[in-house]
Amino acid sequence: KDAVGVQTISFDEFLKMLHSSAVSSVTFKNDGLLEVATTSAQRLYTRVIKGLSADWVVERLISTRTPFLEDRQQPSSFVAKMKGAAVVLLPLVYLFLAYTMLKRLSEDSNGSVVDQRNKRRARKSGAVVTWQEVAGMDSARRELQEVVDLLINPERFRRIGARCPR
């Protein structure tokens, strides 16, 4: 007997009793616990060995023609419904979050959505773009000035080893 006053046996002893026809019925409880009713009207308890499936135990009970019951608590129907709802809702929530993140990434710094078609239309409509609106204008202006200097005074560039590309 253990500390609670319930008599327990090893799983090996249970199998020996099962094959010697000393077991009258078996009830499956939660967490692999088996309640064994013996032919001498005793109630014994044992645990199924970890890694051993309940199907294997059921096969042994069927082969020895021992009646068995299942007294395990099943999850409530509310829990089952919530699992079903989660299976449907989680992908939708994921898609919504992905959509909102991509939408935020596509917004301009002032909050307007960047749209290439609208930009092309604005260019075609005759909107004037000034040098002040162009990013990197200073470096582009310097590079263009070097090209102009090369065309005006090529001898200065030849002295340092520069050549015009062909």
Percentage of the chain lying above the pLDDT 70 cut: 76
pLDDT for residue 3 is more than 50: no
Band of pLDDT at residue 92, cut at 50, 70 and 90: very high
113 within 8 A of 106, measured Cβ to Cβ: yes
pLDDT for residue 124 is more than 80: no
Q: What is the largest CA-CA distance in the chain?
A: 118
pTM for this entry: 0.42
93 within 8 A of 101, measured Cβ to Cβ: no
One-letter identity of residue 71: D
Span 68-94, average pLDDT: 83
47 within 8 A of 33, measured Cβ to Cβ: yes
Q: Note the pLDDT tens digit of each residue in 98-114.
A: 999 888 887 765 556 55
Burial code (b: 16+ CB inside 10 Å, e: under 16) for 80-102 equals eeeeeeeeeeeeeeeeeeeeeee
Higher pLDDT, 36 or 77: 36
CA distance 122 to 106: 19
